[in-house]
Structure 1
Amino acid sequence: MTGKTRTLVVAGHGMAGHRLVEELRTLDTAGSWRVVVLAEEPHAAYDRVALSSYLDGRSAADLSLPAPGLTSDPRVSLRLATAAASIDRAARTVTTTAGDTIGYDALVLATGSKPFVPPVPGRDLPGCFTYRTLADLDAIREAAAPGRPGVVVGGGLLGLEAANALRLLGMEPHVVELAPRLMPVQVDAAGGGVLGRRVAQRGLHAHCGVATASVQAGPDGRAAGVSLADGTVLEASVVVFSAGVRPRDELAAPADLDRGERGGFLVDALCRTQDSRIWAIGECAAVSGRCHGLAAPGYRMAESVARQLLGLGGEAFGEPDMSTRLKLLGVEVASFGDAHAGTAGSLELSRLDETRGTYAKVVLGADCRTLLGGILVGDARAYADLLPYVGRPAPSAAHRLLAPAS
């Protein structure tokens, strides 16, 4: 470690990029790095996981992540509404969308992801939106018509968040999901059935197992309806696409950086690209070829890279924690470990309580003792008791979970 102050450029100021900056500020007591952060949005990093709360009374300031001292820290230059436009690896510079060029000693790509919009006719009509940023929610709020129907294309985690947003704005939400159930990544068929019935009681209309064929225009040229592949036509004054995300890796090809098979900057277990001065973290990073869309894996990557930059030895990225616990339209859902019993020889034990509207499943190993994962719908209180035991003998909480209700 030399006494010279070096320059780190962080391309992106989402949740992972911000965690990197904060880790570096905390650990770099010698002030060995000057950090230039390029934030594409006009806002500093904010809690994207809690995005729906922006329509439920919380402000942009409430969701903001930076501590007050960030903007006054002489070691950090935060440039809002400015993104990285190109990378010159030979010159070790980044050109920004503002037209200036910044030299770097190290570069961390934290460009995140962008919404996937299915290529259906009419997707570009006025009244069609994505659900990803504060600006998206501002636009949806302005277009919302209380009492009128709105359609969300995509019934995964983000899709249900978007449907709840429409509900908060007084609209009647419909969700269209290609899979045969809602939240197909997190829950199984039985759990999806319970979830579907519970959210229907809260005013959500789910249309599962059917594709979106087109968005129809009304007489004013705005979106007025959504046609489904089975011939159904749903009236809609607002259409929100929330059908997944794709990594933001458009800087890769011009800079001759490798990409993963399904996109993302290809990095090793230490989040390093093939260029020894460039790392990638968060949703844009294809770690050993695989991208991860949750906040927790991005935080782990950020913490590891911060330690590497300071010569402290970063932890290799192993199997990520993809567990989730959330409340969607008032319904608790949790999924953890090998929730879908993909491990050879695994055993699934479940309990469905139609009266209470709850579903619980635990997955055990071939030894019938080791807890591999589970799914909870309607009541997720056991999640905290079970999660620490994944890979270990199942605790008594698992047996109580499956016992008949008294």
Structure 2
Amino acid sequence: MSGVLVVIGHGMAGHRLVREVRARDQDDAWRVVVLAEEPVAAYDRIALSAYARGTPAGRLALPGSGFAHDERVELRLSTPAVRIDRGTATVTCADGTTVGYDALVLATGSRPFVPPVPGNDLPGCHVYRTLDDVAAIRATARPGRTAVVVGGGLLGLEAAGALEALGMRTHVVEAAPWLMPLQLDEGGGAVLGRLLTRLGVRPHCGAGLRSVDAGGDGSVRSVTLAGGEVVAADLVVFSTGVRPRDELAAGAALRTAERGGFRVDARCRTADERVWAVGECAAVDGRSYGLVAPAYRMAEAVARQLTGDREAAFAGADLSTKLKLLGVEVASFGDAHARTEGAVEFIRGDRGGDRYAKLVLDSSATTLIGGVLAGDTTAYGTLRALLGRRLPAAPDALLAAA
């Protein structure tokens, strides 16, 4: 294949795709046009908290993101795509220009979901997704005042950390019974909640949001939880998940998954053999992935196809994670929630303690299939390496070491 490759979106997935294509395209078969919605080149969204703490935005730029020295790549900033015409193989941009393609990769990412509650658009309400979002939070934050983060998942706790660094007293509202419910089980979530409370962050778990309430000046004054509790708030950050950016699908007659996202096969290709999707906007066999590691694997698979390996496929992703949130270590790997039929759980942790460790074994209790660590992740590397393997020691001995 050769010609013009158009990439819609220049986030982390889109940038990885372009870099992989350029590294593999030894004959310069492709001329690449990147249509970026934001006014800046690709940057590390995972490091937004560092930007909130004062790190210059330029320090977040991904390596080579501007393609200044690559004449085969044209990066068009502040140029969102608004329509795809598959019949003429063209993309129309918001500025009225069009660009033709021989291959098209959709890397449009996702948008924050804001719960449809009264007051969700009051002055003082924010989302946490882009450099502009964080800049707006920094402009609004005032040391000593109170902030509420709605959403106690990974990104919500990152936002809470940024607000703490800005000197605000921070509450976290999470509808699930414990924090980080996608990665941690009840025991791990409980330890995380206790340790964060000691650090000054107050979690409200098992609490839905009823409304965001205005003060006399029309801006945020408080939030009301589903149970009626009122929490004072000078600033609110919504971090309740994301939704794939798949709005270009309708005009292009591309299929989307039930929960959103461009529906693609294992090769990340749509029903149109010239159109692919990667990253958070892609639903591989109907499933979307919200982490950067799967996005990079999708980008690599598509880049291989574009440069000769037509059968290269996305083989799924390891969703294991090890994090330090506001100084608290947590990790999960494999089947952390013991959903495998017949799975056996071995737990080491004192009620009310600062550390928690769990191993999940298969029904024969001999093979490690998952685990959770909270408070101390020293054993993460060792345990993760044992996934799918027969245990070299008794579970209680491994947990004691953990």
TM-score (norm 2): 0.97
SS in 1 for 2:382: helix
Question: How many Å separate the matches in 1 of 2:66 and 2:139?
Answer: 33
Query: Which moved further from structure 2: 115-124 or 356-365?
Result: 356-365
Q: Amino acid of the residue matched to residue 389 of structure 1?
A: L
Q: Deviations over 1:225-248 (max 9, x none)?
A: 101111111111100000000000
Q: Deviations over 1:186-231 (max 9, x none)?
A: 1111111111000000000111111100011111111111011111
Number of residue pairs the alignment of both structures matches: 402
2:133 aligned with 1:136, yes or no? yes
2:293 aligned with 1:290, yes or no? no
SS in 1 for 2:315: coil
Equivalent of 2:169 in 169, 172, 176: 172
Question: How many Å separate the matches in 2 of 1:308 and 1:273?
Answer: 14
Question: How many Å separate the matches in 2 of 1:280 and 1:60?
Answer: 28
CA pair 219-403 structure 1, distance change in 2 beyond 3 A: same
CA pair 62-397 structure 1, distance change in 2 beyond 3 A: farther
TM-score (norm 1): 0.96
- Asked whether the equivalents of residues 339 and 373 of structure 1 are also in contact (C-alpha less than 8 Å), the reply is yes
How far the C-alpha of 1:400 sits from its partner, in A, is 4.1
Equivalent of 2:86 in 85, 89, 108: 89
> For residue 118 of structure 2, what is the aligned residue in structure 1?
121
How far the C-alpha of 1:319 sits from its partner, in A, is 3.2
2:54 aligned with 1:57, yes or no? yes
- Asked whether the equivalents of residues 305 and 314 of structure 1 are also in contact (C-alpha less than 8 Å), the reply is no
> For residue 376 of structure 2, what is the aligned residue in structure 1?
379
How far the C-alpha of 1:398 sits from its partner, in A, is 5.9
> For residue 182 of structure 1, what is the aligned residue in structure 2?
179
CA pair 83-314 structure 1, distance change in 2 beyond 3 A: farther
Q: Amino acid of the residue matched to residue 46 of structure 1?
A: Y
> For residue 358 of structure 1, what is the aligned residue in structure 2?
355
Structure 1: 5+ residue stretches without partners? none
Listed as ranges, the matches of 1:6-405 within 5 Å are 6-67=3-64, 70-353=67-350, 357-396=354-393, 399-403=396-400
Q: Amino acid of the residue matched to residue 27 of structure 1?
A: R
- Asked whether the equivalents of residues 33 and 76 of structure 2 are also in contact (C-alpha less than 8 Å), the reply is yes
Structure 2: 5+ residue stretches without partners? none
CA pair 307-175 structure 1, distance change in 2 beyond 3 A: same
Question: How many Å separate the matches in 2 of 1:257 and 1:241?
Answer: 30
- Asked whether the equivalents of residues 154 and 175 of structure 1 are also in contact (C-alpha less than 8 Å), the reply is yes
Question: How many Å separate the matches in 2 of 1:398 and 1:296?
Answer: 29
How far the C-alpha of 1:265 sits from its partner, in A, is 0.1
How far the C-alpha of 1:395 sits from its partner, in A, is 4.2
Q: Amino acid of the residue matched to residue 274 of structure 1?
A: A
CA pair 352-7 structure 1, distance change in 2 beyond 3 A: same
What value does the CA root-mean-square deviation take over the aligned residues?
1.6
How far the C-alpha of 1:396 sits from its partner, in A, is 4.7
